[in-house]
Structures are given as C-alpha cells and as structure tokens.
Amino acid sequence: MRKESIYKCSLDGCEKPVHGRSFCKPHYQIWYRTGNPSTPDQRKIRHYCTVDGCESRVDGNGYCSKHNRRFKKYGDPHKLIFEQHGMTKSDEYRAWLGIKHRCYRKEEVSYPWYGALGITMCDEWLNSFVAFYNHVGPKPGKGYDIDRIDSYGNYEPGNCQWITHKENCNKQRRHNNK
C-alpha cells in the first residue's frame, strides 16, 4: 500500500500533495514547461484573435488563422484578399481587366503591342480596380474605350481617358504584321 504524502505543494493556497521539487503534479508540470510554477497553464487559457469583432482562437502573432494569413501576406490583418466593389460585370471592370491582360499575359493576342513593348499599369491600379475607377471615372456611354493620352506611356493617372471607339481607331499606332 502506498503511503500518503504528508507534504503539501509549496505554492500558497494549494493543498495538493507534493509530486516533485516541492510542487504538486499540475504546478510541477507548469514549472517544467515555463520555469515558473505560478505561471497560469497556457493550455487552459483561451486566447482570442486581437482583431475587433473576431471571436476565433489565436493561430499566431495574436491573430486567428484567417487574420494571421492576411498579416503574413500583406502586413495588415484587416486587408481583404479580394476587393468587394460589386462591379465585376461592368464595362469599367472589363476595361481594367483588359488592360491587365494586354500588359501582363503573354498568351493575350495584343500582348506583343503592349506588355512586350514595356507598357505597364501603375502599381496602384494593378492591385486595385477601385483605385482605377476613382481616377478614370465611369464610362461615359456605349462606344467609348479607355485610351492612353501618350500612346507610348503607361496606364497610370493622368495618362488615361475615355474616348470614342472611332477616335481610338484613328489614333492607333500602325503595326507591321510581317
């Protein structure tokens, strides 16, 4: 038969029998993990994401998995991965997407006359349709195209405007298709 320990845990208020180093088993385990037996057991404390309104458990850096992923990728846990503007079916959005395709997608038919020649879109517009829309404004009507004022310049604020399709055709650079 095992003899009952007459010794109690050395922490104030704890009446459990000694397990090791003059601490009861729970306090001994905390001491073993943290070096301080009075440190609360971290496994029993619920940590919540530090983003206001988020009730998810912490994954890392004080954020839940969703906000931690945003923090690691963008440096801001609040940044939305996708802009929410509700204009994906608009003519302005299709114009913005068309610019991105002809400047950056090598598979695009018009890439040789844009991206291959070094014509790019400014970083602000490249990463945000809303920023593009705020600079160029709404399309005036059907039959209008986005145009670069300086045909050899980039797509950027101050170099883009809406012009009629006919004006755009008259302004085009001529390409040699040899």
> Could you tell me which residue, 132 or 62, shows the higher pLDDT?
132
Map tokens 């029993």 to a residue.
44
Q: What is the mean pLDDT of the chain?
A: 83
Question: Is the pLDDT score of 121 beyond 90?
Answer: yes
At CA 110, angle to CA 104 and CA 115, rounded to 5? 35
Q: For the segment 31-72, what is each residue's pLDDT rounded down to a tens digit?
A: 777 677 776 655 555 577 888 888 888 877 778 888 888 888
Cα–Cα distance measured from residue 141 to residue 145, given in angstroms and rounded to the nearest whole number: 10
Cα–Cα distance measured from residue 51 to residue 20, given in angstroms and rounded to the nearest whole number: 41
Query: How would residue 2 be classed by pLDDT, with cut points 50, 70 and 90?
Result: very low
Give the H/E segment covering residue 148: strand 144-148
The pLDDT assigned to 82 comes to 67
